[in-house]
Amino acid sequence: MSKRHISTTVNGDAAEFLAEPGATLLDALRDELRLTGAKEGCGSGDCGACSVMVDGRLVCACLMLAPEAEGRRIETIEGMAQGGRLHPLQQKFLEHAALQCGFCTPGLLVAAKALLDQNPDPSETEVRYWLAGNLCRCTGYDKVIRAVMDAAADLRQVRRAS
Amino acid sequence: MTDVMDRPALKVVGTRPIRPDGVDKVTGRAQFGADFHLPGMLVGKIKRSPHAHARIVSIDTRKARALAGVKAVITAADLPDLASQEYEAGESASNLRDLSQNCMARDKALYQGHALAAVAAVSAQVADEALDLIEVVYEVLPHVIDVEAAMEPSAPVLHAHLFTEGLAERPATASNIAKVNRLGRGDLEAGFGEADVVVQGRYTTKAVHQGYIEPHACVAQVSQDGQCQVWSSSQGQFMVRTYCAKILGLEIADIRVTPAEIGGGFGGKTTVYLEPLALALSRQSGHPVKMVMTREEVFRATGPTSGAVIEVKLGAKQDGTIVAADVVLKYQAGAFPGSPVGAGSMTALAAYDIPNVAITGYDVVTNSPKVAAYRAPGAPISAFGVESAIDDLARELGMDPIVLREKNGVVSGVKAVYGPTYRDIGYLETLKAIKDHPHYAAPLGPNQGRGVAVGFWFNVGGESTAAVHVNEDGSAVVVTGNPDIGGSRASMAMMAAEVLGLPVEQVRPIVADTASIGFSMLTGGSRTTFATGMAVTQAAGKIVEDVKRRAALIWDTTVDKVAWESGQAVCLDATKSAVKPLTLAAIAAQAGRTGGPISAEVSLNAQGAGPGFAVHLCDVEIDRETGHVTVVRYTAAQDVGRAIHPAYVEGQIQGGVAQGVGWALNEEYIFDADGQMENAGFLDYRVPVASDLPMIDAVLVEVPNPRHPFGAKGVGEAPIVPPLAAVANAVRDALGVRMCDLPLSPPKIRAVVDGLAS
Amino acid sequence: MVHVVLAGADGREFTGGEGAFDVEATSVRRLILALDQRFPGFGDYVERRMAFAIDGVIHQDAYGAELAPDSEVCLIPKIGGG
Ligand code: FES
Ligand code: FES
């Protein structure tokens, strides 16, 4: 089968790649664009390690076909730190030791950012349910949840100040 | 060796700095097994058995080889046919023949998912097509998966050459019971004769998977001169090197293994599945080959740990003194011998000082994937039975469950059931930490129950190498050979920084490939912070001795007149009162004049690891409508010796609890009548998610291990031991009924609730 | 004399079922040699399969470890881990 040419925006820049019709967005990101921050933990939409944003919506890149990315705006973990500065969520994950092996971390960060973008003041329960699609086998989630809550508090302060 | 333990003020050890590899991991830059890429790389895939047990009559690969884009096809015929031979690699002995045949089936497929052939092709699509073109003729055989069914004399026999070890006489017929092991002391019959109260139970657990989120992955390359390179995600690059050499009949010197970041292992990555096959495919094709498992392959062909039957009988006096214990353990080994029943036996009663004991363990092969180590291998299973029975005993005696454990608890000087005499253990301190915790006295709500359970793990030491290099500006690099699974780079850097007197940010830890650092056993058994940490500390200590010598040279004095204080050399020579202390940076700047580069390497075999005890307290709430059990509060105390980086120690405990809760409530391998695993994916094999768990309060008890320079004990394994019983005991408390078969899934709870109602 | 104890049934096929005995040895290496002399094949088995708890401190593969005249050496199966 012949590959198709796809044009997208990835982390703010125009990006083009060739994709088999059956390839997933995750395959395209990882194998064509070499953006390997999004991980494949299951390939079936159950682990969240492949979380990316597409047109502002949180999706599992393993469940979306690469050709469907045509004309869309994609954000990945590689675009989260801005201009040499970590996003507050990234910083809080480090401070709270919210990662052990770090394999789930890119997905968790992308998903957590999606939450805070739409709900700046989530309760612990809201955070836990929002992140229920992101498996982490190492941490027991305790420090992950604390990091997200702490980052939310920081971000609220920044917003108030500006 | 510099002994820093007595120093009153540790500056780095015990603090919570940001881990040195953290930024790469929060920005997506860290390279895990599947992230590696080489030009001209092929995709390797595996053809697997659809049958749980079958004789392989023939494998015809001609059509696959003829397909355009296919560059290599291998079967067991392309690997040496190894004789049965035990070989030590990394941690414990493995049988090389079994290891090889688990990577690639030779005469028989022993479980559904057993590898039969592998291909390398220019794309995943072509590789998949090639797999379909491989023609295998099977003679399907009856299979057996249940452990007790496999022990029956009438059961289908997996290995005609397997005769039960450990019997008084060598048996005449082959059996699925690979080994019987016995442990004990005293006189069981007399012990039960003295008992006022006897409790007993029969408990079962199902096979569960380690569930690391990163599937196995590697890239291998064999060049035309036979030099082999492997990049893979494993718990030990040296283990990968040894096993690849043995399975392929290669020289160790021809193989270089570079560890990728590892996305979780929990014991499951202490062996090889893909690497030898990728090398064989690369050798045949002349191209680098990448192999990545799907999640389904991970479930069907790697891990898990044993499903088991545990029988426990305890006898006690009215005052709570336990006088006799009889434990029988039957563990699934999967397709080849080697379940963790030995460790399960040794740990089962390790927390109790009981005079009359018998523990019998059966290692049983079954038509399921060969079990791999899983965090404190074997211990959670036996602890589930024993700790459930202890809970029943406390109820029977009307005693507080912690008081009962204190009364029978081991202390330093007591002989463990598994043999040695305990030293420097902190078990009673850990029990007290839970007894005194506000959680223990907190009121329970309706439909809630509370459970206590304890756990034990030996922790191990072993062979490690570490190098410390001081850079020209006085900063340092620490090189070790142990993959960093959960933050060990941070603790290595911290221990070196402590000894050198540097801020931890000035110490960069790296995990080196097999050609760049001396041999180290794999990361496992909770050994890295202890053993490799010891090597790091000693190497840093050598640096201190060396720079003192150099300072003496600079000051033109003798080395005994130089002290090392807070990261600088201080001159004690009264005749040189004007000289200022020399920092590491100042000495490093003059390294050329004082003897050349400042570097030290230490290789050792660390002995005397201290065992860890964990005491867990769990509250559950039961939804009587749905049968759903929610863990509403969890407190876990553990003797960790000394926490080097407390946040990562807490993280180990919290992670172990989460895995144990999953084991207790949801996780299980489900096989259909044909021996096919029915739930080989994260949708149906349900590991705990964020909304399943509460915060997990980790309480660190610190009874230092005097045989480690900072007092550290291993921490990673003990926390998975108590949760199975802690949860089950809490459910018992809430329901008033003892449930003995894990997982305590909603249908089982509902059945009990319905039974109570009628 | 060093007092040697076999914790479990492992290895007793070499010792004729005996689980405790006294041996003259000043190091682990000498102990292994002495055990092999007393029970042929046992030294090799111990090296491959067993760890040594010397007065309670577990040693794996430690030829050089010294033994005091009244040391207790408990032979236990080698321990791995996850
Ligand atoms: S890889 Fe996409 S959800 Fe798991
Ligand atoms: S940190 Fe390992 S899976 Fe989350």
DSSP string, B276-339: HHHHHHHHHHSS-EEEE--HHHHHHHS--B--EEEEEEEEE-TTS-EEEEEEEEEEEEETSS--
What are the Cα distances from residue B386, in Å, to B321, B396, B411, B740?
16, 15, 19, 11
Domain layout of chain C by residue ranges: 2-77
Considering the four listed CATH numbers 3.40.50.2300, 3.90.226.10, 3.10.20.30, 1.10.10.10, the one that applies to the domain covering C2-77 is 3.10.20.30
CA–CA separation, C74 and C23 (whole Å): 12
**Separation between Cα atoms, residue B228 and residue B241, nearest integer Å:** 10
Neighbour tally for B679: CB within 10 Å = 15
Say yes or no: C20 contacts chain B, CB-CB below 8 A.
no
Beta-ladder partners of B618: B451, B634
Strand partners, B467: B479, B601
The CATH number covering residue A142 comes to 1.10.150.120
Distance between first and last Cα of chain A: 53
pLDDT at B8: 55
* Amino acid C57: pLDDT: 82
Q: Which of B431-440, B478-487, B542-551, C6-15 has the lowest mean pLDDT?
A: C6-15
Whether residue C47 lies within 8 A of chain B, CB to CB, comes out as no
* pLDDT of res. B31: 97
Contact B489, B560 (CB under 8 A): no
Closest ligand 2 atom to the C-alpha of B263? 2
Nearest CA in chain C to B413: C56
Band of residue B3 on the pLDDT scale cut at 50, 70, 90 = very low
β-strand pairing of B356-365 with B255-259? unpaired
Question: Which of these, B367, B381, B377, lies nearest to B301 by C-alpha position?
Answer: B367
Inter-chain touch A101–B28, beta carbons under 8 Å: no
Q: Rounded mean pLDDT of B277-302?
A: 98
Residue A34: per-residue pLDDT: 96
pLDDT in tens, B97-136: 999 999 999 999 999 999 999 999 999 999 999 999 999 9
Largest CA distance in chain B: 94
Query: B748 pLDDT band (50/70/90 cuts)?
Result: very high
| pLDDT tens digits along B564-595 | 998 899 999 988 878 899 999 999 999 999 99
**Which ligand 2 atom is the nearest neighbour of the CA of A100?**
1
Q: Which fold has domain B378-459+610-757?
A: Aldehyde Oxidoreductase; domain 4 (3.30.365)
Asked whether B356 and B386 are in contact (CB, 8 A), the reply is no
User: Has residue B164 got a pLDDT over 60?
Assistant: yes
pLDDT in tens, B619-642: 999 999 999 999 999 999 999 999
Q: What number is the average pLDDT over the span B652-662?
A: 98
Mark which of A54, A78, A102 sits at the end of a domain: A78
Mean pLDDT across B371-375 = 96
Residue A145's closest CA among A118, A120, A125?
A125
A102 lines ligand 2 (CB under 6 A): yes
Residue that finishes a domain, picked among A58, A78, A98: A78
Tell me the pLDDT tens digit for each residue of B65-99: 999 999 999 999 999 999 988 776 544 557 999 99
User: Measured between CB atoms, does B166 come within 8 Å of chain C?
Assistant: yes
Q: How many residues does chain C have?
A: 82
Residue C76, pLDDT score: 87
* Average pLDDT value for residue range B218-236: 97
A137 CB near ligand 2 (under 6 Å) = yes
> Can you give the length of chain A in residues?
162
Distance from C-alpha of B120 to C-alpha of B126, rounded to nearest angstrom: 9
* C-alpha torsion angle, residues B158, B163, B168, B172 (rounded to 10): 100
> Is the alpha carbon torsion for B13, B18, B24, B25 positive or negative?
positive
Which letter does DSSP use for residue B19 in this model?
P
CA distance B397 to B407: 13
A69 and A92 assigned to the same domain:
no
Closest CA to B689 of B722, B651, B662, B719: B662
Which DSSP letter does residue B96 get?
Answer: H
Angle in degrees, CA B200, B203, B207, rounded to 5: 160
For residue B712, give both structure tokens: 């550290």
Q: Report pLDDT for B89.
A: 58
Cβ–ligand 2 distance for A99 under 6 Å, the answer: yes
Q: What is the mean pLDDT of residues C55-59?
A: 83
* DSSP states along B535-564: HHHHHHHHHHHHHHHHHHHHHTS-GGGEEE
Cβ atoms of A8 and A72 closer than 8 Å: yes
CB contact set of B550 (below 8 Å; sequence gap of 6+): B587, B590, B591, B594, B595, B598
DSSP helix/strand/coil, B604:
strand
Q: How far apart are CA B111 and CA B301, in angstroms?
A: 8
CA-closest candidate to residue B490, choices B257, B647, B267, B720: B647
B455 in contact with chain C, both atoms CB, cutoff 8 A:
no
Q: What is the CATH number of the domain that holds A69?
A: 3.10.20.30
Q: A43: which DSSP letter?
A: S
Task: Provide DSSP, B384-420.
Answer: HHHHHHHHHHHHHHT--HHHHHHHHB--TTSBPTTSS
Nearest residue CA, atom 3 of ligand 2? Answer: A136
Residues having CB closer than 6 A to ligand 1 are A 40-43, 45-50, 60, 62
| Touching chains, C (3+ CB pairs < 8 A) | B
DSSP state of B581: P
Q: Assess B17–A contact: CB distance below 8 Å, yes or no.
A: no
d(CA B526, CA B531): 9
Burial of B562 per CB tally in 10 Å (0-12, 13-18, 19+)? buried
pLDDT digits (tens, 9 = 90+) for B387-409: 999 999 999 999 999 999 999 99
Closest-CA residue, ligand 2 atom 4, reads: A136
Shared domain check, A103 and A64: no
Rounded percentage of chain B residues whose pLDDT exceeds 70: 98
Model confidence band, residue C64 (pLDDT cutoffs 50, 70, 90) = confident
pLDDT at A1 (0 to 100): 58
The two counts, helices (H) then strands (E), for chain B are 20, 28
CB count in 10 Å sphere of residue B19: 28
Contact between B493 and B478 under an 8 Å Cβ cutoff? The reply is yes
* CA distances for C76 relative to B423, B424, C16, C79, angstroms: 16, 19, 17, 8
List chain B residues with CB under 8 Å of A88. Answer: none
Is the per-residue pLDDT at B175 higher than 60? yes
Give the pLDDT score at B1: 34
Angle, CA of C68, C73 and C79, to the nearest 5°: 135
Which amino acid would we find at residue B337? P
Q: Are residues A112 and A56 in the same domain?
A: no
Residues A74 and A92 in one domain: no
Looking at residue C47, what is its pLDDT? 87
Chains interfacing with B (3 or more CB pairs < 8 Å): A, C
Q: How confident is the model at residue B298 (pLDDT cuts 50, 70, 90)?
A: very high
Ordered DSSP codes for B198-244: EEEEEEEE--B----SSPPEEEEEE-TTS-EEEEE--S-HHHHHHHH
Kindly give, in sequence order, each residue whose CB lies less than 8 Å from that of residue A85, ignoring residues fewer than 6 positions away.
none
For residues A145 and A96, membership in a common domain is answered with yes
Cα A102 to middle of ligand 2, angstroms: 5
Ligand 1 mean position to A103 CA, how many Å? 12
Nearest ligand to the CA atom of B262: 2
Ligand nearest to the CA of B211: 2
Residue B236 pLDDT greater than 70, yes or no:
yes
Mean pLDDT of C21-43: 93
**Same domain assignment for residues A118 and A149:** yes
- Reported residue count of chain B is 758
Residue B164 is encoded by which pair of tokens?
């039960």
Tell me how far the alpha carbon of residue B724 lies from the centroid of ligand 2, in angstroms. Answer: 21
Domain membership of residue A10 as a residue range:
4-78
Q: C58, B609: Cβ pair inside 8 Å?
A: yes
CB-based contacts of A6, cutoff 8 Å, min separation 6: A16, A17, A18, A19, A28, A66, A67, A69, A70
Determine whether B259 is exposed, middle or buried from the number of CB atoms within 10 Å of its CB (0-12, 13-18, 19+): buried
The tens digit of pLDDT for each residue in B299-337 reads: 999 999 999 999 999 999 999 999 999 999 999 999 999
Which one of C57, C67, C74 would you mutate to disrupt binding with B, by most B Cβ within 10 Å of its Cβ?
C57
pLDDT given for residue B2 in this prediction: 38
Q: Mark the ranges of chain A whose per-residue pLDDT is less than 50.
A: none
At C16 the three-state DSSP class reads coil
Give me A43's structure tokens.
Answer: 């390939």
Q: Using CA coordinates, name the residue in chain B closest to C77.
A: B342
The fold adopted by the segment(s) B22-30+461-606 is Aldehyde Oxidoreductase; domain 4 (3.30.365)
Handedness of CA A34, A35, A37, A40 (dihedral sign): negative
Neighbour tally for B446: CB within 10 Å? 7
* Mean model confidence pLDDT for chain B: 95
pLDDT of residue B94: 78
Given a contact cutoff of 8 angstroms between Cβ atoms, the answer to whether A104 and A41 are in contact is yes
Give the pLDDT confidence of B18-56 residue by residue, as tens digits.
999 999 999 999 999 999 999 999 999 999 999 999 999
Percent of chain B at pLDDT above 90? 91
- The pLDDT, as a whole number, for residue B88 is 67
Interface test mutation site (partner B, options C58, C70, C74, max chain B beta carbons within 10 A): C58
Peptide linkage before B743 cis (omega within 30 of 0):
yes
Q: How close is the nearest chain A Cα to the Cα of B64, in Å?
A: 19
Please indicate, yes or no, if residue A83 is contained in any of the structural domains.
no
Quote the strand ranges of B437-513, DSSP E.
448-457, 462-470, 476-480, 507-511
Q: Tell me the two tokens of residue B148.
A: 């007790």
* Mean pLDDT on C55-70: 86
pLDDT digits (tens, 9 = 90+) for B404-459: 999 999 999 999 999 889 999 999 999 999 999 999 999 999 999 999 999 999 88
